Amino acid sequence: MGACKWSKSSMGMHRRDVLKLGAAATGLGVLGIHPIGSLASTQPACLVPKVSGPGHVVKVSMPGMRGRWFPHAEAAKIAVEKAVTTLARESDLGRAWAKFIQKEDKVGIKINCLGGRMSSTMKEVVEPIVAGVRNVGVPDENIMIFDQFGGNMRGARYAWQDKPGRLRVINHPVVGYEKNWTRAEGAKGKLSKALTWATAIINVPVLKDHDLGGAGITCSMKNMVFGCVEHPPLMHREIKIALPHFYAREEIRGRVRLTIVDGSFCLYDGGPQHNPAAHVTHDAIYASTDPVATDAIALEVVESLRKANGLKPLAAVRRPATFLPLAEEIGLGIAARDKIFLETVSLPPFTGASA
């Protein structure tokens, strides 16, 4: 797939792309979480970078991760933890999370529940993320799981919670929006106060086709842009310009530390709403610090499934993901597939109890 063409210049970490590394992590004993670094990557050693940078995406595959309806909790936990340790180049789970989150952070976990019960970020994927943030030392009062619509969140099995001193599970209208408009080329919107409250965001999108407005796909960048403003349809007219330029705003780009994609399923047509005719098991978790490379890989997955199921490419149905080259051009990450290093880790099939 061209991964061997990834040059040293592509791997170089520019100042705008470097994560601020956190302090050493606290012990793992309290939560009973153990590293699983003994499971080896299938990627040739000559291609494995010492430090994750632009163009690096980790894919952890685990056959059987998804049960009949939802992921098995234990399987999702193993896959998420392996994705984080692999990306961070750490065998110890605590040290891995500390590469992305500091105990002083206010951490927002941005999910995507627009697809309802079956095509949204699964809570089984979010739970080990919360555990990892806690393990760094972030107190529950400084952790917030958030999305746009309360009804969709409840439909996706997230119980609303906003009690003082506890982890919050909340939607935008409850916390409100900023008074002033945030503007970028082709875009304007009032940002959610859930976003601006956070000092660090873990973006947890899904793999979906998108047939509204011409984006082609919904994954990393769209979850943070259209999922964090008051009236997203205002940006649909110029979505291919609006999406990368709005993501480039420091309010978003400066907060997102890590993207963990729930790839337990893929919706390859009819998104962003749930379409049972095009909803398939994918049994994977993706992790990256590069939102553009993440979306390029998501596009590849969607296009592959469309082809396998007799559907035309997105460009042939007037939905090309042309925001990706522009996102690379303005410095948000790597879009060119031959410069993206997709590091694949294949875990043994999950054989636990049925969901």
pTM: 0.84
Which of 3.30.565.10, 3.10.20.30, 3.40.50.720, 3.40.50.11440 is the CATH number of 54-346?
A: 3.40.50.11440
Q: How far, in Å, CA of 338 to CA of 192, rounded?
A: 36
CA atoms within 13 A on the CB side of 204: 30
Alpha-carbon dihedral of residues 161, 112, 262, 264, nearest 10 degrees?
100
pLDDT in tens, the chain (355 residues): 333 333 333 333 333 333 332 222 222 222 222 222 223 333 333 344 455 789 999 999 999 999 989 999 999 999 999 999 999 999 999 999 999 999 999 999 999 998 889 999 999 999 999 999 999 999 999 999 999 989 999 999 999 899 889 999 999 999 999 999 999 988 889 999 999 999 999 999 999 887 766 688 999 999 999 999 998 777 767 788 999 999 999 999 999 999 999 999 999 987 678 888 889 999 999 999 999 999 999 999 999 999 999 999 998 988 888 899 999 999 999 999 999 999 999 999 999 854 4
Q: How far, in Å, CA of 210 to CA of 151, rounded?
A: 21
Beta partners for residue 261, in sequence order: 286
